[in-house]
Every structure is written in C-alpha cells, then in structure tokens.
Structure 1
Amino acid sequence: MGNTLLAINNYFYRRGGAEAIFLDQMDMFERAGWQAVPFSMQHPNNLNSNWSSYFVPEIEFGSQSGLLKKVEHSLEVIYSRKARARLSGLIDRVRPDVAHAHNVYHHISPSIFPLLKQRGIPTIMTVHDLKLACPAYKMLSPHGICEQCKGGRIYNVLANRCMKGSVALSGLVMVETAVHRTLGLYRNHIDKLVVPSRFYKTKLIEWGWPEEQLTYIPNFVDQAISERPVTVDEGDYYLFAGRLAPEKGIATLIKAAGLSGQRVRIAGTGPDDAALRALAREVGADVEFMGYLSGQALHTAIARAKALVLPSEWYENAPVSLLESYALGRPVIGTAIGGIPELIKDGNTGLIAKPFDTESLAGVLTAMSQLSKNARQEMGACGRAWVRQEFSQAAYLERTTRLYSELGVKDTG
C-alpha cells in the first residue's frame, strides 16, 4: 500500500482556483499511487466521496439568522470543535502520512492544526490568499489596497469595515485573527507554508512570517490542456474571465476598451455585473457579457481571444486562468501588481500594463492588436512552452513530493 495524503479544503467542488488546485492535487497523487483522502465541509454542490460522513456540517459565513445560531456559528468560525472531532475520527481510520491543507478559515477553521501536530502528522498549507497577514484576506479596504493591519494593528479591519462593509462581520474576523494568533494555530502547528507566487512569499516575510517556514511552489495546469493541440482560430476580441468584483479592475478594462476601440468579452458573474453593463453603455465600449463559463466553453473562449486580460487592482497571487491561457496557446495582458508580473515575460509571452491606469491599459490593448497574428501566436507558443516546463502537473508533483520527503514522509509506494 502506498502513502496516504490527507487533503483538506473547505469546499469539495470546483468553486474557484483554490478548489481546482486542491482537487487536481488529489487526482495527481492518486495517479502516482497514493491514497488521497479529502476532509471538507458538507455542501450540496460537493462531489461524491467515500469519506463525506467525516466532513464538517455546513457553515456559510455571514448568512445565518437568529441570535443563538449566529453566536454558535461565530464560535465555530473561530475555532471549530466539530472539525477537530470529525478529523480525529478520520485520522484514526486512515492513518495519513502527511496532511496538506488549502483554504480552511471561516468553515473548517485552524482548530485542526494542533490536532495534526499532536498526532505527529507532517502538515503543509498552501497559501491561496493573504489571510495569514490580513484579517480580511485580500489586503483591500473599501478605499482600495490597504496594509493598515501590519504590525498587529488588526483593529483597522473593524475601523474600515473591510468585510462587506459590515461591523458584525468585520468585528468577527478581528476577534478570529486575535484568537488564532494568540493560540499560534497557524504559526506554531504548520510545518511548511507553500506559496504559489514569489510576491506572496515576500509579502508574508514583510508581515513577520519566518522565511524558513515558506516554500515557493507555483501552481500548475491540467496536463490535458497543455498537451492538446491548439485547433481553434484566433477571433477579434480580448477576454476577461473571472468574478465581476471591484478589485478585478474590469471597470478600468471597459474604459480602456472604449478609449482604444478594442472589442472585449467578459466571462463571469458577480456583484458588479449591472454596474459594469451600465458603464459599457455609458462609455460606448464594444463589450459583450458572456455570463459564467467553465470547462470546455471557457477554454474555447480563451483560445479564440487575441489575449486573456487580467486588469487586476489588488494583490493577486498566481492566477490559474493566466496559466491556462498559455496552455491554450494564447498570450496574456496583465497589470504590474501582486504575483501577475512574475508570470508574464513582457514582450515574450504577453504585455504588462500599469494597474489603475485606463490609458496605459488602452495603449497595451492597442499594441497587442497592432502585432501580426503570427506574432501573437508566437507569444502564445512561448507561454505554452513555459507552462510545460515550469507549471506542469509533473513539476508540481515532483516539487511537492520532495517537500513531503524533507518533512520525513517516506515513500512506501
């Protein structure tokens, strides 16, 4: 019998980039001869699993009604006794060799990490956002990028109402952060933190995390995408794919589309949907809203684009959509913020614009359009080669297995 990986994440379905990495990691380890056992939260959208009876009862953060329910759920958000109890039973059953967590806050909670430490299970967590530094996890306040909580000044999350403009939710994450730090739930009980971008590694060190606890392992792309031949012909548009939220910079993209006369398609849904449609009409931009796309439909939309555009205005980590665009043979236009610029070889695999700058983005959209179709294909081909070399499943498996080995996990396959 091979090794057993205990894979931990709040959700057990493809909800976002973190879930894609979590599920694909389980799949690749299974194919490498491991047993991969999930530990998640119960949810109606979950995939089927033989282990779901051990999953934590569902908590949807900030959506409970009734005072007693709210108090009970708030306590579970901060420190889930149910998660500890359920996980203890699962550990007894499967005896994992290593635990690898992804997103756990607000649902499973970091209450599980001292238990894993007590049981002598080497524990790794992949850092998908900035929760370990910023109580509101994005380093965003209602006023834009924010690092006011640096140096332990976490009262700023409440002062700025960073969580959905709510005093109650912002107060809850302030208390949550204080409790987690006082108990050292992350810092003292996790052996290694995997950071998918060099930017996040630097940022966490700036905020006081010890460098020796951090390991850079980049995200990866589904092997099938990068090995499939590119058969779809380039169309006459740029594509944005993602959540329609303020920090994604879509308003800047729409204004840039209007200014440059370039055609843009937007794939996704989110809170800014109506406002962005109104803006497109107001500035006379040639923008088509495609709604939510996933799987093959999304891949086809990317493959038909001149380039994928990531006009982000927050500290992005390491967007999987960017790597997927390369895998599909398409260049990327991104802003110089967060982990995005380290994933674009400017002029080689794509182009970089200034964040928050309509004119800069308009200029870059125009510059990409003025290249020949062959030049754009050449950029896409360079990105595809880079993905196969640096961001493949094989590279991720090798790097992650090596990390497990450094923590004393012996290969019994």
Structure 2
Amino acid sequence: MRIFVIHNFYQHAGGEDQVFEQEVRELSKEHDVRVYTSRNVKGVKGLLQYLSYPTNLGEAQRILQQVRAFSPDIVHIHNLHYGIGPWVVRRLRRAGIPVLMTLHNFRLLCPSASLFVGGKIFTASLHEDFPWTAVRQGVLDRSVLKTLLTGFTYWLHRKLGTWNSVNRFMVLSDFAKHLFQSSSFPVAGDRFVVRPNSIDLQPAELRKVGRLLYIGRLAEEKGILPLLDGLVDMDVPLDIYGTGPQLEQVQQRIAKQPQIRYMGYQSREVLTKAIAEADALVVPSVCYEGMPMTIIEAFAQGTPVLASAVGILEEMVVPLYTGMHFNPFEKQSIQNSISQWMALDEAEKKRMGEHCKHEYEEHYTLKKNMELLLSIYEEAIADNRK
C-alpha cells in the first residue's frame, strides 16, 4: 500500500509526535510511505503561520504537489495545528484521494483542545455552533485573540463542509468517540472509528519494590497536587518522575515527607524499569486524557493502575481487575482508594498484574494495533469509492 502521512510538530515535543513516528516506522517496514511535516515556529514567521491558519493555500498547494507525485492509496493526517491548517483537506478531497485523520485531542470540538480550563473540565463548546464561551474565557493560552482565531478556523471549516471530506476519523477510545458523536460536530457518527495507542515492549521480570509511582508532567491538569494533599496524612511510599510548572509546589509539599521521593526527569529506560518495579502506577489526572502511554506500559509490565474516574481513565482501568478508581477532586476518595490498595495481599496484587498483562496482549500490542490501522485504511479507501 502507498501511504502519505501528514504531521505538524508543535514547538515542544509531545505524545502525538511519538505516535506519528512509531506508525511511520512500522508502516515503512512493509509499505511504501512518504511523509510531509511542518513545525510551528516563533517570532514573525510564527505569527504569519498562525494568521494563515484558516486558509493556508500555500501549504495546501505544496502538499498536493507532493501527493500527486507520489500517487498514494490514502493520506493519513495526524496534526494540522497550526502550521498546515485544514485547507489541505479540501484540496485532497477535490483530488479524489481518500483521507483518514487521527484525532489526538479535542481541538475540533473546542479551541482548548483539552476540554480543561481554569482547573476544571470545560465542555461549553461541545454544543455551541461557534465557541463564544471559550473565546470569552480565552481558553487557548489565556488569549482571547488566539482562541478567537482558532475557534473561527474550525467553525469556518464546519460551515464549508471540510470535515465531511474526511473519510474516517480515528479516535483513541469509546469515550472520545461518544464526545464527538454527541456534540455539535457536523459529521455522521459512522465516520468515527476507535483505535487505541500501543507500544512494542518486552516486559522485564523485576521484583516489585512496594512503592507507588507517578510519571508525568507536574501540572494542574495532571492532578499531582491533590494526590500529594491526599497522601500527606498517610505513610505511603511514592516516587515522582517528571517536571513542569508545579515542580516547586511539589517539592514544598514533600519536603517533610521522607517516604515520597522526587526522582526528576529521567530517560525512557529509567522509567520503564521504574514501572516494572512499582507496586502500582498512580494516574490522578483531573482532565480528559487522550490515552496515557504510561498506563499501556504499566499493563505490559503487569503493574496495576490507580486512576482518576475521569474520562478514558475510567474506561481503561477496571476496579479490582487492573487497578482501582478514585475521585481526584475529593481527598477522602483518594485516601480510601490507596488505603484499599495497600491493604490487599500480595497474591491479589499479583493476580491483578496478570490481568494487566492480558489487557495489554488483547488491546495494546503494536502488532494488533498496526493490523487494525491497515483495516481502517481499507475502510476509508472503500468509502471513498462510493
């Protein structure tokens, strides 16, 4: 199969980039793959990029020229924000080329992209024709102007019918699929297909060290401070990996808690070993996550997960089967869940760890994930022939 992949990199690397690179690497082993990438920049060039966002004719033309020269069976779009823009979708459709788009976030529903604003889940945009509430609150980088332009871009392409030019939208979970289907997004529900993230990992058989583990950005939406507030009265060992804007507050909270250790920002190899040795991974996010790769890796390593009952986390983690849930907004709920976990005997924890491995094998291996991707490509190509 001939596959043309489009991706726009943000200024700072993220999970979307990892998924894009992994898929291109795997697809290239057996298929003819061509990529087109762009990157958001700063300064005057960045401003011009952003002002061109709604109708970036130049970028669309450059991509179309390469697509025509390559003559792919399908075009797979990962990210268009904001260096490429949605206009390319219209040009591809006019050229009669089937298009699939991975929705790594909720930007097509709300300029915030995360549906998390001011420390709370933000869903006002889901049923608005134009996201005026989001604009008034400046949900994108606390800027009314950036929120307005981004909101206008996606609203304009709703009105132009651009999104109906996409043959398949690929989302990471049933939760995300439901959000899109129940919103004002003007695309038929059968255009959405679910395909989770995946990893290729050989589990390390390491002894569990009896410590809980947090891996992630130290930021408000990740719920790290409420987690620490819940642990302050408990003698529970926790290792924290990562960095972010709340680093100083994290260090202040654990200064007199010797059982809680801040391990800093570490390499992938260090994190993989930490996950394999952990008693459980704690994911206290207070926002709608896409699909945390750390949970998939924990499952692969047979490490249960204690997670917020929020969005996809409630879907991925099954209580007393692959982990436990808690309400991240309630200190007592956090404490009850962790106390319940600590009270389990080793045989029960081991049994749950085996369930985690089973979930990984059933849903998150790279081999099955790539097979599913190819079947979705075939669906999109067949849909384009109708």
TM-score (norm: length of structure 2): 0.91
Contact 1:317 1:340 in 2 (8 A): no
Contact 1:246 1:272 in 2 (8 A): yes
Are 1:59 and 2:32 matched, yes or no? no
The one-letter amino acid paired with 1:140 is F
> 1:79 matched to which residue of 2?
55
> 1:45 matched to which residue of 2?
none
Please show how residues 234-313 of structure 1 align to structure 2 within 5 Å: 234-281=208-255, 284=257, 286-313=259-286
**In 1: Cα distance, 2:82 partner to 2:235 partner:** 43
The one-letter amino acid paired with 2:304 is P
The one-letter amino acid paired with 1:395 is K
Are 1:231 and 2:231 matched, yes or no? no
Contact 2:214 2:282 in 1 (8 A): yes
Are 1:381 and 2:337 matched, yes or no? no
Are 1:350 and 2:323 matched, yes or no? yes
Shift of 1:86: 2.3
Contact 2:49 2:83 in 1 (8 A): no
The one-letter amino acid paired with 2:164 is N
Contact 2:129 2:155 in 1 (8 A): no
* Aligned residue among 316, 323, 326 for 2:289: 316
Contact 1:235 1:306 in 2 (8 A): yes
Are 1:160 and 2:137 matched, yes or no? yes
> 2:16 matched to which residue of 1?
18
Instruction: Give the secondary-structure state (helix, strand or coil) at the position aligned to 1:188.
Output: helix
Q: Aligned pairs, how many?
A: 380
The one-letter amino acid paired with 1:40 is T
Instruction: Give the secondary-structure state (helix, strand or coil) at the position aligned to 2:22.
Output: helix
> 1:126 matched to which residue of 2?
102
* Aligned residue among 10, 32, 35 for 1:35: 32
Shift of 1:80: 2.4
**In 2: Cα distance, 1:203 partner to 1:329 partner:** 30
Contact 1:221 1:387 in 2 (8 A): no
> 2:148 matched to which residue of 1?
171
CA separation of 1:243/1:406 partners in 2, compared to 1, >3 Å: closer, same or farther? same
**Most deviating of 164-173 and 327-336:** 164-173
Are 1:212 and 2:190 matched, yes or no? yes
Contact 1:312 1:337 in 2 (8 A): yes
Residues 147-194 of structure 1, C-alpha deviations (whole Å, 9 max, x = no match): 122222411122112122223322332333333323333x22211111
Shift of 1:12: 9.5
Contact 2:172 2:291 in 1 (8 A): yes
Cα RMSD after superposing both structures: 2.3
**In 1: Cα distance, 2:10 partner to 2:47 partner:** 26
Identity %: 24
Shift of 1:409: 6.2
CA separation of 1:139/1:86 partners in 2, compared to 1, >3 Å: closer, same or farther? same
Structure 1 unmatched ranges of 5 or more: 42-57
Shift of 1:307: 0.9
Shift of 1:306: 1.0
Contact 1:5 1:36 in 2 (8 A): yes
The one-letter amino acid paired with 1:366 is S
Residues 102-125 of structure 1, C-alpha deviations (whole Å, 9 max, x = no match): 122222222211122122221111
* Aligned residue among 353, 369, 372 for 1:396: 369
**Most deviating of 262-271 and 80-89:** 80-89
Shift of 1:59: 2.4
* Aligned residue among 340, 343, 346 for 2:313: 340
**In 1: Cα distance, 2:380 partner to 2:49 partner:** 35
Contact 2:298 2:305 in 1 (8 A): yes
Contact 2:110 2:151 in 1 (8 A): no
**Most deviating of 109-118 and 165-174:** 165-174
Shift of 1:300: 0.9
Contact 2:74 2:381 in 1 (8 A): no
> 1:221 matched to which residue of 2?
199
Shift of 1:76: 2.6
Shift of 1:8: 1.8
Please show how residues 105-124 of structure 1 align to structure 2 within 5 Å: 105-124=81-100
**In 2: Cα distance, 1:374 partner to 1:10 partner:** 47
Shift of 1:296: 1.2
> 1:203 matched to which residue of 2?
179
Contact 2:197 2:369 in 1 (8 A): yes
CA separation of 1:81/1:244 partners in 2, compared to 1, >3 Å: closer, same or farther? farther
Instruction: Give the secondary-structure state (helix, strand or coil) at the position aligned to 2:347.
Output: helix
Contact 1:221 1:324 in 2 (8 A): yes
CA separation of 1:252/1:285 partners in 2, compared to 1, >3 Å: closer, same or farther? farther
**In 1: Cα distance, 2:20 partner to 2:115 partner:** 23
> 1:48 matched to which residue of 2?
none
Shift of 1:314: 1.0
Residues 247-297 of structure 1, C-alpha deviations (whole Å, 9 max, x = no match): 111111111221322122221122222222223337x47432222234211
Are 1:180 and 2:164 matched, yes or no? no
> 2:379 matched to which residue of 1?
406
**In 1: Cα distance, 2:301 partner to 2:55 partner:** 42
Contact 1:255 1:285 in 2 (8 A): no
